[in-house]
Amino acid sequence: MKIKFTKMQSCGNDYVYIDCIAKDGFDFDGFTSNQIKDLVVRLSKQHYGIGSDGVIFICKSDVADAKMRMFNADGSEGRMCGNGIRCVAKYVHDNYAKKRQLNIETLSGLANILIDKDKITVNMGKAKIDASKTECLGYKVTCIDMGNPHCVVFQKDIDNIDLAVIGPKFENHAMFTPDRVNTEFAEIVDKDTLKMRVWERGSGETLACGTGACAVAVAGVLNGHYKKGENINVLLKGGNLIINYTDGCVLMTGDAQKVFEGVIEI
C-alpha cells in the first residue's frame, strides 16, 4: 500500500500530514483504531519511518473547512495541537479553500484561524484552569487545559533541567491519570518574553508545542508575571510564538511551513 504524505513543521514541531479529502486520498475511516495506531508509530519512527512528532490526518468535515485527527508518535490520539492546526490551515488554504479565515474541526471543538501571508493566528478558545492542582513532585505547578492538559512549572535555568528524567515522572504521575499530561518548564526573560521547554505526552521532548505555549503564557499571567490582553513572546527551542490571553480566548500567532512531500509504501 502506498500513502501520499506531506511533511510540515511549525517552530520545529514536525508532523506527517496525510490528506483524507482528495479523491485518491487516504481512507481514514476504512481502518481500525489499532491499524491507525500501528501506522502512526511506524511513520513517526526516526531512522525506520519518515520521522516526526506524530501524524495528523486532514479529513472532511460537515461543520468546518476540514477536520484534524492528531496522533502522537506513540500512536495515542490528542484532542488538539496548536502548531499542528496552523499547518493544517496552511495545507487546506493552499489546496482547497484559498480564503483568509478558516474553521478547523478538532476533538476539542471548532478552531477559527486567520491567515495573513506567512503568519497564522488561531483562536484557541478559553483557557480552562484547574485550581485544584498546585503541587506535584515537590514543584509548584499551574495546571491548564488548552484542548490538551498541561502542567506548567516556573523556574530559572531551564536549559540545565534533565527533562528526559523529570518529564516522564510528570507525564505518568497518578495526579494526571488516566490521560497523562504535557509538562512545560518556563523561565521569565523580561516583561513581555519567556522561554520554555516541553515534554509532550506520547512524544517526549519536542522543539515546540503550541497548546503548551498558550498554557505557559496563561500561567504567566495567573502568577503575576504578565498582563492580560498583552502580547507575550514565547521562545521555544524550535522558534517563537506570540500568545495573547484574555478572559474570552487565547490567541496564538506563528508560522507554518511545508518541508517536503512524498510517497511511502507499507
Mention every residue, 6+ apart, whose C-beta is less than 8 A from residue 98.
Answer: none
Contact call for residues 266 and 42 (beta carbons, < 8 A) = yes
Q: Which of 135, 251, 153 is nearest to 194 (CA)?
A: 153
Alpha-carbon distance of 101 to 146, in angstroms, equals 21
Catalytically active residues are 81, 209
Strands (DSSP E) contained in the chain are: 2-10, 13-19, 54-59, 66-72, 77-78, 101-106, 109-116, 119-123, 128-130, 135-136, 139-140, 142-145, 149-154, 182-190, 193-200, 204-206, 231-236, 239-245, 250-254, 257-265
Mention every residue, 6+ apart, whose C-beta is less than 8 A from residue 181.
Answer: 143, 149, 150, 151, 170, 171, 173, 175, 201
